[in-house]
Amino acid sequence: MNKPQDLPLAAAAAAAATTGGDAALDAFWMPFTANRQFKKSPRLLAKASGMHYWDADGREILDGCAGLWCVNAGHTRPKIVAAIQAQAAELDFAPTFQMGHPLAFELAGQITRIAPAGMGKVFFTNSGSESVETALKMALAYHRVRGEGQRTRLIGRERGYHGVNFGGISVGGIVANRKMFGAMLAGVDHIRHTHDPARNAFSVGQPAHGADFADDLERLCALHDPSTIAAVIVEPIAGSTGVLIPPQGYLQRLREICDRHGILLIFDEVITGFGRTGQPFAAQTFGVTPDLMTVAKGLTNGAVPMGAVIAKDMIHDAFMDGPEHLIEFFHGYTYSAHPLACAAGLATLQTYAEEGLLTRAQQLQGQLAERLHALRDAPNVIDVRNYGLVGGVELAPRPGEPGKRGFEVFLDCYANGVLIRTTGDTIAMSPPLIIEPAQIDQIVDTVRAALGRVA
């Protein structure tokens, strides 16, 4: 075992926290974590490079989920590291309220070059949650500046995940994220989710059945009057709820209904953006262009927190009226377009371009699909779902203990050198886009072995 003094600084700190017992771990109230379980048996990551993490003992762990769906180019990539270091020494912070700095404009321009046609404006935030709040406010304000201020209703989807701020959990549809926080935003409703295991279990790629689920939006239009609805927000692929792939024709039908009733369509691409589906954005993969698109995670390869809303030009232009000295949109964040984040974003986009990472999932998705769907005969597997370089394996829950079987598979895989994610009893895999075929095999083989050990 390595001693703390033999490890880099981060590893030494992690080792100290481990050996220090409960007191060393007590102050940090961890997000989305079973805190008591974790602090009895900590899993501390101390170093990362390429496809791997290392823990405080120097044990190598293959990253099967790109950190938190964000490290698309792999860890500690040289161009990104160097760009952050250089920027910190040159311009550590600059305000973007009535001021600016060159990197903000350069990064926005680079993003629009890979975005769907017609989406030519970028508003920077600091996370996916903030991107969602921003997009919802944009939608409401857009209708108001156009003289349709009665459009105040927002439509989400059951089982949707749109971050953890009040707007995001209001349009979101994951029960555990909502139940403790009161009445949410007023004027929000939800269309039904697309999960249909009776017809679509073990679909490879997009399920054949379920385009008609989009018609649930027409039900809400009839209930509320479509002239009161500002926007509909969905994830092209619902990630945090367990990797739900859109049925064939579903997103197209949502687009048609929104167009018919003058409703804005928002795609939450915080997970699917920047190469996960084999194109820069899932909007391009599925051939449906939204009016607003939220991004984060892969924008900076997870190296510096950053998010953005990518907007159609018509939405931006609707605000550009009235006296020129007045603020057009009263919204923003102190750290919008932070210089370090912009430097990381530019280096990330350069890395993606040089290595062809935004389309690399097209080359590997066949192998991932084949290996994942071979798990259908593994113990307790009731469904497998995949698209691009994202996959989900749904397990039968234990009676009276939902989520426990999935959590034990997560722990088993971690103990055997592979990091996966679980949401309830669904295993989620979204490896960095630099993954090699042998590493896909390692991830799936480790999952299969874990399923054999976990009853």
384-432 pLDDT per residue, tens: 999 999 999 999 999 999 999 999 999 999 999 999 999 999 999 999 9
CA distance 431 to 447: 14
248, 206 Cβ separation under 8 angstroms: yes
Phi–psi pair at 267, nearest 5 degrees: -100, 125
- Structural domains in the chain, sorted by start: 4-72+358-453 (3.90.1150.10), 80-355 (3.40.640.10)
The greatest distance separating any two alpha carbons of the chain, rounded to the nearest whole angstrom, comes to: 68
Over 80: is that where the pLDDT of 218 sits?
yes
CA distance 241 to 424: 8
CA distance 163 to 181: 14
245, 235 Cβ separation under 8 angstroms: no
- Strand ranges in 158-304 using DSSP code E only, listed in sequence order: 188-191, 229-234, 264-268, 292-295
313, 121 Cβ separation under 8 angstroms: yes
pLDDT class for 9, splitting at 50, 70, 90? Answer: low
pLDDT class for 23, splitting at 50, 70, 90? Answer: confident
- pLDDT recorded at residue 19: 58
Q: How far is CA 407 from the centre of its chain?
A: 20
Residue 185 tokens, joined: 């935003």
Q: What is the DSSP letter of 270?
A: T
204, 392 Cβ separation under 8 angstroms: no
- Strand ranges in 158-306 using DSSP code E only, listed in sequence order: 188-191, 229-234, 264-268, 292-295
- pLDDT recorded at residue 356: 98
- Bridge partners of 232, per DSSP, are 155, 265
- Bridge partners of 264, per DSSP, are 231
- pLDDT recorded at residue 20: 57
Which residues contact residue 233 at a Cβ distance below 8 angstroms, ignoring those fewer than 6 apart? 132, 135, 136, 154, 155, 156, 157, 160, 162, 171, 266, 267, 268
CA distance 322 to 328: 8
Is the whole model's pTM more than 0.85, yes or no? yes
- pLDDT recorded at residue 432: 98
CA distance 114 to 122: 12
At residue 278's C-alpha, the angle toward residues 267 and 428, to 5°, is 75
- Bridge partners of 293, per DSSP, are 267, 310
Instruction: Compute CA distances 440 → 43, 150, 254, 384, 434, whole Å.
Output: 23, 50, 34, 16, 11
Q: Other CB atoms closer than 10 Å to residue 45's CB: what's the count?
A: 16
- pLDDT recorded at residue 13: 57
269, 281 Cβ separation under 8 angstroms: yes
Q: How far is CA 124 from the centre of its chain?
A: 16
Residue 183 tokens, joined: 């009445």
- pLDDT recorded at residue 3: 40
Residue 347 tokens, joined: 């280096």
Q: How far is CA 215 from the centre of its chain?
A: 26
- Rounded mean pLDDT of the chain? 95
| For residues 213-234, average pLDDT | 98
163, 172 Cβ separation under 8 angstroms: yes
pLDDT class for 24, splitting at 50, 70, 90? Answer: confident
CA distance 241 to 258: 24
CA distance 67 to 63: 7
- pLDDT recorded at residue 18: 55
Phi–psi pair at 369, nearest 5 degrees: -60, -45
Residue 69 tokens, joined: 């769906």
